[in-house]
Amino acid sequence: MPLDASYHAKSFKSVGTRPLRPDGIDKVTGRAKYGADHNMPGQLVGLILRSPHAHAKIKRIDISKAEKLAGVKAVLTAADLPDLTNGDQGMFDILDNCMARTKVFYDGHAVAAVAAVDMATAKQALKLIKVDYQVLPHVTDVDEAVKPKAPLLHEKCFTEGGESKPKNPSNVAKITEFGHGDVEKGFAEADIVIERNFKTEQTHQGYIEPHACVASVSPDGTGELWVCTQGHFVYRNHCAMLLGMDVSKLRVTSSEIGGGFGGKTHVWMEPVALALSRKSNRPVKIVMTREEVFRASGPTSATSIDVKIGIRKDGTITAGKAELRYASGPYLSMWGELGAMTSFACYDLKNVKTRGYEVLVNRPKSAAYRAPSAPMAAFAVESVIDELAKKIGKDPLEVRIQNAAKQGTKSSYGPVYGPIGIGPTLEAARKHPHMKAPLGKNQGRGYACGFWFNFGGQTCTDVNVGPDGTVTLTVGTVDVGGSRASLALCVAEELGIPYDQVKCTVADTGALGHNDMTDGSRGTFSSSMAGIFAARNTIEVLKERAAKMWEIPVSDVAWENGHAKAVGSKYGNLAPLSLKEIAAAAGNTGGPVAGHAEIVADGAGVSFATHICDVEVDPETGRSRVVRYTVIQDAGKAVHPTYVEGQYQGGAAQGIGWALNEEYIYGKDGRLQNPGFLDYRIPVCSDLPMIDTQILEIPNPNHPYGVRGVGETSIVPPIAAIANAVSNAFGVRMTHVPMSPPRVLKALEAAKKTKKA
Amino acid sequence: MADIHLWGALRPAAGGASVVQVEAKTIRELFRKLEDAYPGMTPHLARGVAVSIDGRIYRDSWETMLPDGAEIYLLPRIQGG
């Protein structure tokens, strides 16, 4: 029973309520400690020298003058970070990204670092470092990069996964294929086939808090790292490996996090801070500027996607095919592969084929961004489905309902689906009042569906009962979206005590076993499962203690509503013992009362959403404004519905920014032109309508309370839904994101010319 | 013998086959036997492979049993945000 993850229907007392957020007061009063808020005695200022070139060989680095500057305590290059990755290519790429070794691959790539007594000295020291570059031709565009004569990033990059072994190196690092059936036969059966290319520009996760850390390494080989991260255990493991430290001797503490969205899932400059500390024998603090965040951390891929879909006049989709090219920066990743897996996952298709291409370009190393790769693929597929529906004179939502995947459908990425929620989200959309609301002048309505996998992973928690009967829940998953409240609700539910009797804390890496990161929508899913198991183990201890207090066999003790109860008529006169009473007596019944759980939480289950949006396009300026937006998504069980709604709204808001404004703009010199929030415009409150949400609760059979992850799927449909709405507003198919005013105006002008002709 | 379905990236290591037969009771045994029979899969397994058993995806629970007649798909071990 303690480790039974299967869902059992029950009525809840705490789960499903909306208590005030426990971190709220600290955050609004400024008491909460973020990455840059921590300081250590005697700490130095760390700064990183970054490449001004998009692609260049490093011929020589002269640090002698910088080292001699008064106040400089350490100067570091790749020579101070030897390769200890033992053939692990993924970790070597992270190391090379932290500090370039033989070549710089993008504007902003780190080449050296200094630690000095103050900022002015550190800045002066950076200017004294002389780097002799041999500038090389560069390529930043994903379609240009795949051309045979494109500048080559890695001379030994031979495409993996193609039909035949390539003779020549290229920037296509890997090709991956998914699908089943015969797409050509499917297209032959279609009445209408549409084939289009779609492009999305590179966007940044746009977390408000820049990367920041304070590192301290002692001469005895132990170290401490305070850092803003989505996964301090993973950062610990990465840093220990890259620096040759013992994992157990490096204690990492995660700060509060001002957003991550996938961008804080692997190390960027933290090993550099530790190495500077080791070299200088002083604590070192590094805080990235916003410009550094844009130039050198975490953007998502720019993409170019060719989609071909066939449909019969009765609305049946006969075949779908997609070639998806994802820019992954200078290193191999799996972004094209994820695009290929997710692109047609919402639909029940007999014939489907997708190929994902990992394309290397002279841009920063691409990182995960909330349901990574799925939004771009959905944009392409959902746009063509909308267009096809119109061509056959059917409602686009009804076409989606007709072709939606269901239990027993063979998914486009391979396996057959179990129970899934795409159908219910579409049915809910059909009934939603938003569907019947009238549209104004220059307004259009769009819908789109979205899919994401979700996952679980390694998780470790402790429940400790204090002498006053209050409970501490200690977790190792960073709270990125309110999980501390949700996890406390689950433990309170399991113990049968009020929510305000439980306090949830995110522990440092010295306090718990390894926890995977908060990514893949796993924080609440995994840690609530582990928390419930730890609570169940705690209950076993509480029952033993009650048995001792009563001097009866533990087999005669049951746990109900936060109390131990003696079972059987012979104990009729024993009043139940509350958790508080048992806790108060713990010192004489065996000591502290605690429960622990370490698990692998598999079975997160796939996730679906349907979004509806209305957009108004100004025909004079080309500016598009979202006037109404509705998110419908399955949460399994919404532990804290306000936080679930927040996740839905947050994903939609980021998707709106991605669809309408945000883009990395590179000059011909390969340098990023807009590394700041003035020129890279994320949506602010005044840009957004109130985003309406509808939570569906179809229990996940693989979680005790039916919980599913909810953090990522909400960013998948927005680009497509908005593109469909903008296209419907003035009858021109939008194929290039962001749909910024100049791009919309250009499309409007082109449409006018076509009409005249 | 169970049919093990391979996603595209694994197929070159199996001579282009989309399905291979392996006698295995657990995910751990499956991975071990795949490495023995198809050494080209080793880098993929090192990079991370997930196993879908009747539609439920397992990334880490290698002790999970492979039931007779189950649909078994190997998939990339995906990253999230």
> How many residues are given for chain B?
81
Mean pLDDT across the stretch A83-92? 95
**The pair of three-digit structure tokens given for residue A746, joined into one six-digit string:** 């250009």
pLDDT at A755 over 80: no
**Residue A162: which pLDDT band, with cuts at 50, 70 and 90?**
confident
Mean pLDDT across the stretch A206-219? 97
pLDDT at A541 over 60: yes
**Residue A2: which pLDDT band, with cuts at 50, 70 and 90?**
low
Q: Average pLDDT over chain B, rounded to whole? A: 93
Report ipTM (2 d.p.).
0.94
Which chain A residues are closer than 8 Å to B7 by Cβ?
Answer: 176-178, 413-414
Nearest to A177 among B8, B61, B73 (CB): B8
**Per-residue pLDDT tens digits for A641-677:** 999 999 999 999 999 999 999 999 999 999 999 999 9
Positive/negative CA dihedral, A136, A137, A141, A145: negative
pLDDT at A1 over 60: no
CATH 3.30.365.10 fits A24-32+456-601, yes or no: yes
CATH 3.30.365.10 fits A609-757, yes or no: yes
Distance of CA A626 to the CA centre of its chain: 24
* Domain segments of chain A as ranges: 24-32+456-601, 609-757
pLDDT of residue A165: 84
Which chain B residues are closer than 8 Å to A600 by Cβ?
Answer: 60-61
Would you call B7 and A417 a contact, using CB atoms and an 8 Å cutoff? no
CATH of domain B2-76: 3.10.20.30
The helix/strand/coil state of A717 is coil
Sequence-distant (≥ 6) Cβ neighbours of residue A282 within 8 angstroms? A42, A43, A44, A73, A115, A216
Would you call A338 and B79 a contact, using CB atoms and an 8 Å cutoff? yes
Which chain A residues are closer than 8 Å to B12 by Cβ?
Answer: 161
Contact A668, A386 (CB under 8 A): no
The Cα A54–Cα A106 span in angstroms is 4
* Domain A24-32+456-601 identical in fold to domain A609-757: yes
Mean pLDDT across the stretch A534-563? 98
Mean pLDDT across the stretch A684-694? 96
Q: Which of A26-40, A316-330, B53-67 has the lowest mean pLDDT?
A: B53-67
Question: Containing H/E element for A557?
Answer: strand A557-560
What CA–CA distances, in Å, run from A353 to A181, A304, A326, A338, A575?
A: 8, 17, 17, 14, 66
Mean pLDDT across the stretch A481-486? 95
Mutate: best of A180, A455, A516, partner B, most B CBs <10 A:
A455
Instruction: Find the closest chain A residue to B6 by CA distance.
Output: A414
Give the minimum alpha-carbon distance from A57 to chain B in angstroms, rounded to a whole number: 29
Backbone angles phi, psi at A394, to 5 degrees: -115, 155
pLDDT of residue A573: 84
What CA–CA distances, in Å, run from A332 to A175, A199, A272, A358?
A: 11, 20, 22, 7
pLDDT at A208 over 90: yes
How many CA atoms within 13 Å lie on the side-chain side of B70?
22
Which chain A residues are closer than 8 Å to B41 by Cβ?
Answer: none
Nearest to A338 among B8, B64, B78 (CB): B78
pLDDT of residue B1: 87
**The pair of three-digit structure tokens given for residue A167, joined into one six-digit string:** 């003779």
**Per-residue pLDDT tens digits for A562-617:** 999 999 989 988 999 999 999 999 999 999 999 999 999 988 989 999 999 999 99
Which chain B residues are closer than 8 Å to A713 by Cβ?
Answer: none
> Which residues on adjacent β-strands are paired with residue A449?
A610
pLDDT at A757 over 80: no
pLDDT of residue A421: 87
